[in-house]
Amino acid sequence: MSVRVRFAPSPTGFVHIGSLRTALYNYLFAKKNGGKYILRIEDTDQSRFVEGAIEGMLKAMAWAGVNHDEGVVMEDGQLVKIGDYGPYVQSERLEIYQEKIKTLLDSGHAYRCYCTKERIDEVREKQKAAGEMPKYDGLCKCLSEAEITAKTLANEPHVIRLKLPENRDIQFNDVVRGTVVVNTADMDDQVLMKTDGFPTYHFAVVVDDHLMGITHVIRGEEWLISTPKHMYLYEAFGWNPPQYVHLPNILNADKKKLSKRQGDVAVEDFLKKGYLPEALVNYIALVGWSPEDNQEIFTMEELEEKFSLERVSKSGGVFDVNKLNWVNAHYIKESSDEKITDLAIPYLISAGYITEIEVKESYEWLKEMVAVVKEKLSYMAEIVDHVDIFFKTEIKPEDDEAMEILKGENMVTLLDAFASKVEAAEVIDVDFGKKALKEIQKETGLKGPQLFKPIRVAITGQSHGPDINQIIKILGKQNLLSRINYVKTQLI
């Protein structure tokens, strides 16, 4: 039996990092086993539908390189399906659910329930007050044929519920959790079809997983509690259930479920900050799964080869942004200067450092500048702060140390010596800096930090930073001269 797995998001807004991991594990499991990975849109709860959420989700997945073999894709701004098991959007499958619910009604595994919301709330309140588990009390389970016919003729609004047998253990095996047993006494007669003719998640998920030939359901552990209902539905239909795999939650550092309140949780947030997709995928793969050795850096191909469900952990994985930053910094360092420059450009433009037209003219210069700061970046948005030394026109001492250096007694001598070398130079390259500083050392007797710290502060405002010779080269003649002049006339 060939593996078929699915990721089944509801289009309710941004893409949580946990959803990316669920999608990724499904994708990796399919790849590892030569199977198919399907993306299905679960939009039966129309009240939670968010405009643009499907498109946003598809974009985030494509960015991350977690590409599906079947399902919906965007083509020229349109949602189109690929694959033979469609439609892959649940709101386009209503006829299928109608037909399947009829099967369950006919076989006595489901019943119509006409209870009003008020009555159900009342029953629940009473149960809660009595310390019982709140659930439907089964009133409509016992309606006679005649009563049902009368209500149908009167067009009374109703839902359709699953008719659970009494006091029966429902058992299933979960790859992560092992054997799970729940008694029907602790379960509710789940609503399968709502008054609006839409199925609930629980009904649609079972029908679709079966009809789409899903062999393994890999999803978040919040659905573990619903799985006994799903199992009973498989039994009621006489279908074979898939293998279940419930993934542990992703946790914050305080071991609570990762939430928006504690920082970035949306894939879109990481995209905006300039994380590399390969780094995010690499990192997130390790939150809840571990390889057999201590390998930490994985290409997608390596993950495809090494991933296994057996090594998914039971306990929640902590999302550690410092670790993510470390992984991302690694990928930035490993990338070509060209690639990082291309990624940096939008941030430089929106910081107002450079215009789109200037980018074309100064591409090579930008590339040199990016190469100098690349090693310092955890994510691309940080580049703005790292390169401001190359764009500012007025030098301001960045801190007390820089201020003190600027007031040093040799400052004017040093600046004059340096300015004359800059002026006389034909080219300002890395060697120019080296040579000029050596000559000034000879002329003034100043060396080491006494020599290059004042120059550094004068041309950048900072007492620490990238290699001074590189900075000199990138700033170039005009910038160097005007900065020296500014410092001499305005600051000392």
Kindly list the residues in this chain that would bind ligand GLU in the complex (CB under 6 A): 8-10, 42, 201, 205, 219, 223
φ and ψ at 80, to 5 degrees?
-130, 160
233-259 burial code (b ≥16 CB/10 A, e <16)? bbebbeeebbbbbbbbbbbbeeeeebe
Structure tokens at 398: 């960045």
Q: Which of 102, 128, 255, 260 is catalytic?
A: 260
CB of 223 to ligand GLU, least distance (A): 5
Query: Which of 39, 417 has the CB closer to ligand GLU?
Result: 39
Query: Which of 38, 73 has the CB closer to ligand GLU?
Result: 38
Q: Which helix (H) or strand (E) holds 286?
A: none
CB of 259 to ligand GLU, least distance (A): 16
Query: Which of 8, 159 has the CB closer to ligand GLU?
Result: 8
Structure tokens at 460: 């950048």
Query: Which of 14, 363 has the CB closer to ligand GLU?
Result: 14
Query: Which of 211, 412 has the CB closer to ligand GLU?
Result: 211
Catalytic-residue membership of 141: no
Q: Are 9 and 41 in contact (CB under 8 A)?
A: yes
Closest of 452, 430, 429 to residue 440, by C-alpha: 452
CB of 64 to ligand GLU, least distance (A): 17
CB of 67 to ligand GLU, least distance (A): 18
Helix (H, G, I), strand (E, B) or coil at 183: strand
Q: Are 371 and 383 in contact (CB under 8 A)?
A: no
CB of 41 to ligand GLU, least distance (A): 9
Q: Are 183 and 169 in contact (CB under 8 A)?
A: yes
Closest of 255, 253, 252, 298 to residue 279, by C-alpha: 298
Helix (H, G, I), strand (E, B) or coil at 33: coil
What residue type is 478 in one-letter code? Q
List residues with catalytic annotation: 260
